[in-house]
Structures are given as C-alpha cells and as structure tokens.
C-alpha cells in the first residue's frame, strides 16, 4: 500500500511540475524579452545578457504613434465599468432565478448555458451592424455593455447555484420581521454571496483586458484603442515589429490584474471552490 501511495504521489508531483513549467516558462520568457536589447525575441537564454529598461521607457515616452498610457487608461476604464456592471446585473439575475418561481425559469437557465456555448466571433458582423445603426462605432460604452452581456449567462448560472445553497429559512425569518425582498437581497444574500461576487468581479475585470476580437470590431481610431489593439498594432504596423517593446507592454497589463486578485484573493479562492461543489 505504501509503495502504491508513493508512486501516486510521485506521478502527481510530476504532472504538477509539468503544468507549472508549461504555465511559468512563457511568462518568464516574456519578462526576459522585455529587458532584452533590440527588437527581436530571439535569445539563447531567458535571462538577457545585457538587460535594459529602454523598452519600458519607450512606452511612457509620449510618442504620438505609441499612446500606451492612453490605451492603458482606456482598458482600465472599460474593465472597471464592466466589473461593476457585471456584479450588479449578475447578482440581480441570479437572485431572481434562485428565489422566485416563474414561467419559463428552467428554459431560461438552459438558454443561458446554450448562449455560453456559442463562439463570440459568430456574432461579430451583427454587432458591428448594430453599432453602426446606433452610431456607436468607437464607443467604449457600447463595448462595456457587450462585455457585461457576455458575462451574464455563465456567471448567473454559477451565482444562482451558490445562492441556492443559502437556506431559504433566512429569507422566511427576515420576512416575518417585516423585511422586503430588496432588504433581504441587500442585507442577507449579498453579504453571504461575497465569494461568488468576487469570482464575477474578477471575471468581469480580466475579460476586457485580454480581449482583441470584440474590441477591434467596435473601436476604429487610435484614441479609442484598448491595450490589446494598441499592442497588436505595435508589432504589426506602427514600429516595425518591436516585439521587445510589445513584451514590456504585455507585462504591465498584469499589474492591475494582480492588484485585483490580491484584494479579492480570499473570497475569490473560496468562491471558485464553492461554485464547483454547490448547485
């Protein structure tokens, strides 16, 4: 028995080590490339021989063709409002599905799952036509609404499952004390759902920071670009394939994500665990 346990433990650690290497190695290579002189990512080692901060300085140099700070602020604006909108919309929708029984409830939940399975790019033409009809090409607010709409189906399903695990007796006791549905939602369910709220907030914040397809469909001018579009143009058109500057810009994207994760870490981890076991 001991030998079997030991062999399983060894196999588990080998698999875990392989997964960690696969995840960490590209990140370390990108960090090394951001300090590598020149414009090429080709290097014989992860640690550059002559590290330099020139690429980071170039990002903040104020070059008109490289509006990195402006793109960064655009991305943060869209991510923050998407996060707030996602938490609000998903919380209300999940509460309705969890605590009320109405006609079409089960069919709507099934529809949410089906919508989540449809690739985002399949609706790009329709979304572009819609943006033109509304006169909202280059509009960050339209992009925010689209991102919020994209987060609702799956996140609603997850939060609804979490709210289902909160005893109905709490609602009934509050109603006996004269509490309205709004008060029950705000003062009972929302505080108890903090772990899942953290998951929804994290998903809403990180999604726009890494999206290129949707943003490039709606946003057309450099002033309205987000970081993914701006960095893509950095290596494709603007500066002659400056891959090392691109690497520096990509690394800095992780800073707000890391901050949000550290703020939500405790609730985020417990929310992921609860979301996988409660339903």
CATH number at residue 218: 1.10.3720.10
Query: Is residue 220 included in any domain, yes or no?
Result: yes
Q: CA torsion sign, 38 to 43 to 47 to 49?
A: negative
Greater model confidence, 12 or 144? 144
Q: Give Cα separations from 21 to 10, 35, 255 (angstroms).
A: 16, 21, 22
| Structural domain for 201, as ranges | 58-277
Query: Is residue 217 included in any domain, yes or no?
Result: yes
Environment class of 84 (CB within 10 Å of its CB; exposed 0-12, middle 13-18, buried 19+): middle
Query: Is residue 270 included in any domain, yes or no?
Result: yes
Separation of alpha carbons 259 and 49, rounded Å = 30
Query: Is residue 211 included in any domain, yes or no?
Result: yes
What was the pLDDT predicted at 276? 43
Closest CA to 161 of 95, 218, 239, 231: 95
Which tens digit of pLDDT belongs to each residue from 113-132?
A: 787 777 777 778 888 888 88
Separation of alpha carbons 175 and 177, rounded Å = 5
Number of domains within the chain = 1
Query: Is residue 177 included in any domain, yes or no?
Result: yes
Closest CA to 225 of 81, 72, 120, 85: 72
Which tens digit of pLDDT belongs to each residue from 11-58?
A: 888 888 888 788 888 888 888 878 877 666 565 567 777 778 887 887
The first and second tokens of residue 55, run together, are 């690429």
Which tens digit of pLDDT belongs to each residue from 65-91?
A: 568 888 999 999 999 999 999 999 999
């Amino acid at each position: 028995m001991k030998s079997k346990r030991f062999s399983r433990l060894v196999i588990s650690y080998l698999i875990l080590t392989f997964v960690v290497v696969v995840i960490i190695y590209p990140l370390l290579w990108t960090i090394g490339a951001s300090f590598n002189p020149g414009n090429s990512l080709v290097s014989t080692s992860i640690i550059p021989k002559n590290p330099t901060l020139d690429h980071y300085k170039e990002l903040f140099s104020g070059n008109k063709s490289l509006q990195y700070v402006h793109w960064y602020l655009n991305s943060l604006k869209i991510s923050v409002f998407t996060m707030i909108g996602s938490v609000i919309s998903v919380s209300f929708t999940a509460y309705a599905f969890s605590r009320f029984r109405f006609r079409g409830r089960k069919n709507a939940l099934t529809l949410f799952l089906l919508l989540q399975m449809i690739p985002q790019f399949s609706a790009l033409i329709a979304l572009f036509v819609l943006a033109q009809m509304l006169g909202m090409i280059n509009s960050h607010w339209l992009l925010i609404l689209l991102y919020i709409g994209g987060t609702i189906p799956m996140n609603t399903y997850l939060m609804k499952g979490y709210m289902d695990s909160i005893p109905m007796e709490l609602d009934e006791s509050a109603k006996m004390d004269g509490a309205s549905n709004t008060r029950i939602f705000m003062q009972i369910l929302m505080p108890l759902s903090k772990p899942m709220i953290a998951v929804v907030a994290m998903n809403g914040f990180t999604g726009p920071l890494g999206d290129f397809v949707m943003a490039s469909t709606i946003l057309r001018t450099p002033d309205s670009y987000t970081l993914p579009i701006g960095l893509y143009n950095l290596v494709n058109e603007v500066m002659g394939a400056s891959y090392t500057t691109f690497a520096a810009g990509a690394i800095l994207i992780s800073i707000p994500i890391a901050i949000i994760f550290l703020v939500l870490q405790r609730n985020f981890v417990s929310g992921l665990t609860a979301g996988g076991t409660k339903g």
